[in-house]
Chains A and B, each alone.
Chain A
C-alpha cells in the first residue's frame, strides 16, 4: 500500500530548529518528485519545497535559506530541516508525492500524508 507518514512536529520557540520526517511505503522515495506543503491554522495550502528524482531541490521564497529538503533512500524517508523558525511557520506540514505520468511529470500531487503540526511560539 502506498503511504506517507509524517512525524517530528511539535512546539518550538522562535529561532529554533526542527526536522520533519516523512516515511514512505509502497514506492521508492527517489523514484518520484516529493514535496512539502503546509497549511497555517484556518488558511489555505502553501507549497514550500520540492526534491526531484535527480536530487535537484527548489523552495518557496518564504522558506528559502532557512529550510532544507532531503531524502534517505536507505530509510525510504523524506526530510524537511527547518531552521530559524518564525511564528508564521506555525502550520500543519504535509509531505506529498508527485504525480508521474507515462512521459512526464504530472505537476500535481497524488498521495499525501496525514500531516504533522508545527507550532512556533
Chain B
C-alpha cells in the first residue's frame, strides 16, 4: 500500500502570510491528488482536484501544484476564514487515502 505523509501537522500563521502544506507519497502516484478543508464540526470541503484545478467557488488564493510523489497546497495570502484542518487525498487501485491532516491556526 502507498503511504502518505502530510506536513506540517500543525501550522500557525498570520493574516496575509503565504502558507504551504505538503503531501508526500511513498511511491509515484499516477492518478490525481485532491485537497480538502475541514472546519470543526463540519464536513470536508473540496478545494483542489487533479493536483491543481480549483473547485468551483473556491477563492483563487488557493492553489495546488506538484506531481509524482509530492504535491503542495499553497494559500497565497492567508485570510481569517482559512483556519481549519487541511487534508490531501489520493486514489490508487480502487482505494482512496487521506493524509493525516494539517491543522492551521490564525495567529
Chain A: interface residue total (CB-CB under 8 A): 21
CB interface residues, B 83-107, toward A, < 8 Å: 85, 87, 89-91, 94-101
Known contacts A45-B98, A45-B101: A109-B91 contact under CB 8 Å: no
Query: Which segment, of B10-18, B19-27, B43-51, B73-81, faces chain A?
Result: B43-51
- A107 contacts B98, CB within 8 Å? no
Query: Which segment, of A7-15, A18-26, A72-80, A110-118, faces chain B?
Result: A110-118
**B55 at interface, CB cutoff 8 A:** yes
A101 surroundings in chain B (CB, below 8 A)? 50
Known contacts A44-B98, A45-B98: A108-B32 contact under CB 8 Å: yes
Known contacts A94-B43, A113-B43, A115-B43: A108-B49 contact under CB 8 Å: yes
Q: How far is the CA of A107 from the CA of B35 in the complex (A)?
A: 11
Give the number of A-B contacts (CB < 8 Å).
65
CB of B16, distance to nearest CB on chain A (Å): 28
CB of A10, distance to nearest CB on chain B (Å): 19
Q: How far is the CA of A45 from the CA of B42 in the complex (A)?
A: 12
- A114 contacts B94, CB within 8 Å? no
- B95 contacts A47, CB within 8 Å? yes
- B32 contacts A45, CB within 8 Å? no
B94 surroundings in chain A (CB, below 8 A)? 50, 58
Binding site for B on A (CB under 8 A): 35, 37, 44-47, 50, 58, 60, 94, 99, 101, 106-110, 112-115
